[in-house]
Structure 1
């Protein structure tokens, strides 16, 4: 039986994203390893131009109607969806995101099988493909860029203006910081990417206790996990699994760190039932020290009150004035916090991010997608099939129906 044809679709969502699921060399690798044809839809925006695919003998086409499996990165505009196909992309629907309600409705109406990258997990429930590391790398770099810009300390290129990660790293030597304190939240891929940058810049890591109690003669950072900035409401000992299962039973405990931190890099996953990091009224107090926030998670009106809206790659920074709860022009001299909240950070280093993502797809996902899916990876990530929500995602039905 012939293998299905895969098409790499053009990214038509605005703002523009330059990433691809498979690089030209990886597309060739897929053909050779799995015996399936790979097509590339023509695009003037992709970080790997059409010509690079042509040079590897991957057909570049205008229409992908003939393909069976359509692979992109960001959400596909509703008018671009092709009925009856299988799609893989980040759908941003599983948390009942209102802005994608109509997208999910259209997918059901068009009898599309939707496989969401975010739900591709192994049997230990660990995600197997993600752009998290590059979100962390670019987010931390952008945080340092913002801090330098706000206080006139140094001038470095934007990440988007660097050819790739190797080129970005040539900017690190220009970063000269005073004795500030930087806090990173999270321990996953995003936080690991952020610590990678700070380590390579030469910023020393210290433990949380020293961070809170000591003064340093050099810039330092600490990395915090959920046990260090959340508290049990009843005062009982913190149990991590209990926090994940019943986040509503916990309260914020980050404020001591806010009193010591100059630059916050937020890289921890946040659930709407979880405690926030801090509140707006706490930002108004004299002892609230944070001046720059690189919010990599970018949860609007979420764990960080100053993240009022996403920013864009072209306009990555805005300031937040807690006195009137308003977004204002960036780099105000006093009384505001500068916020970096770009929601597609890996697209600033699209070539490296795409290469890492494609490697994971080939190693972890395609053997299941094009094979028997013995471990159920594809089934777990399939949100819609045959015009209906699959069993794990039936909880979205009222959302689709407009009842919530």
Structure 2
């Protein structure tokens, strides 16, 4: 049945997005199983278009999916769609960030409703136990912690540029001998992102304090503020008491001088760090939350894995590809994602009626 599935992998609208949800090697395996795959040209994707066509994929012009993709194609991407108000008629597979009240969520869902399409949000592709089947978390945590260490040690330069893990690890290791006093805290240390953050800190010669559910249920705020840097990797779907408040920022005995927020749930009611209102960027990766002593800097980049595009894409694609192969079967992973979308649309419609 897989020969009835047509995947259309789009060019990413965000200029700093280098990743791909599907690598050429994994695309070749899917083509061999009968899937049709069309890949748009992209001057920023880390894998050349020629590698996809060599794998048996068709090619299409950049950003042509809206006009040229057949109605029954699944449009595959990663980050946000181009800013437009046009109705969306396709089924899209990407990180939509539209189910927790984020900025622009209502408008995005309205576009799907108007066009008859659907969002199969990658964040909500889960197995029977509720665990995500494909995630960039490890590499997000790794890069988020690495940038924090490099900034702490005066080695972070902007604008940021994509690199690979050996080069990044060399930077971390080279600066380790000059830093023997930094204390680091990772919140959510047992998750994918948390493990990545801890590994990066170990490479940098630091032994992190590791907190997970038990520590966040009964948060020791004084202990949190007594670390030099904190990496937050917690993603929650329900509002919880914040880990850091604006009152904490003004605490005169605060030691904490750097926060790296890997989660970047900044416009959601589920944000556990409601102390900032906009993310940072590759051009300006660090922003001061408090410029006066004691200073507190923030790193909050919402596409961290794109700074290690080959490693991140390869790992993610390996997890996602087997589920793309089963799209025609419409198994639990995909049916749950569609149900989540339909529930969100229904909730929005109910809200408007009220």
Please report the TM-score for the alignment, with normalisation by the length of structure 1.
Answer: 0.77
Structure 1 residues 70, 305: CA separation in 2 closer, same or farther (over 3 Å shift)? closer
Structure 1 residues 5, 259: CA separation in 2 closer, same or farther (over 3 Å shift)? closer
Counterpart position of 1:284: 250
Counterpart position of 1:341: 300
SS in structure 2 of the partner of residue 382 of structure 1: helix
1:360 aligns with 2:312: no
Alignment of 1:308-319 (within 5 A): 308-319=277-288
1:366 and 1:159 mapped to 2: Cα distance? 35
1:308 and 1:225 mapped to 2: Cα distance? 25
1:131 and 1:159 mapped to 2: Cα distance? 22
**Deviation per CA, 1:213-244, whole angstroms, max 9, x where unpaired?**
xxxxxxxx21101321333xxxxxxxxxxxxx
SS in structure 2 of the partner of residue 287 of structure 1: coil
Offset, 1:353: 1.0
1:184 aligns with 2:218: no
Please report the TM-score for the alignment, with normalisation by the length of structure 2.
Answer: 0.87
Which residue of 126, 129, 139 corresponds with 2:144? 139
Offset, 1:270: 3.8
Structure 1 residues 10, 383: CA separation in 2 closer, same or farther (over 3 Å shift)? farther
SS in structure 1 of the partner of residue 4 of structure 2: coil
1:118 aligns with 2:123: yes
Structure 1 residues 268, 338: CA separation in 2 closer, same or farther (over 3 Å shift)? same
Offset, 1:60: 2.0
Contact residue 9 and residue 40 of structure 1 kept, 8 A: yes
1:266 aligns with 2:232: yes
SS in structure 2 of the partner of residue 88 of structure 1: strand
Offset, 1:29: 1.4
Counterpart position of 1:300: 266
Counterpart position of 1:48: 47
SS in structure 1 of the partner of residue 186 of structure 2: strand
Q: What is the number of residues matched between the two proteins?
A: 341
2:69 and 2:273 mapped to 1: Cα distance? 45
Counterpart position of 2:216: 229
Offset, 1:52: 3.0
Which deviates more, 53-62 or 338-347? 53-62
Counterpart position of 1:210: none
Offset, 1:195: 0.8
**Deviation per CA, 1:80-128, whole angstroms, max 9, x where unpaired?**
9675322111111111223232111011111113211111111111111
Offset, 1:66: 4.0
Which deviates more, 54-63 or 343-352? 54-63
SS in structure 2 of the partner of residue 101 of structure 1: helix
Which deviates more, 114-123 or 42-51? 42-51
Contact residue 265 and residue 296 of structure 1 kept, 8 A: yes
1:382 aligns with 2:334: no
Structure 1 residues 391, 229: CA separation in 2 closer, same or farther (over 3 Å shift)? closer
SS in structure 1 of the partner of residue 104 of structure 2: helix
Unaligned runs of 5+ in 2: none
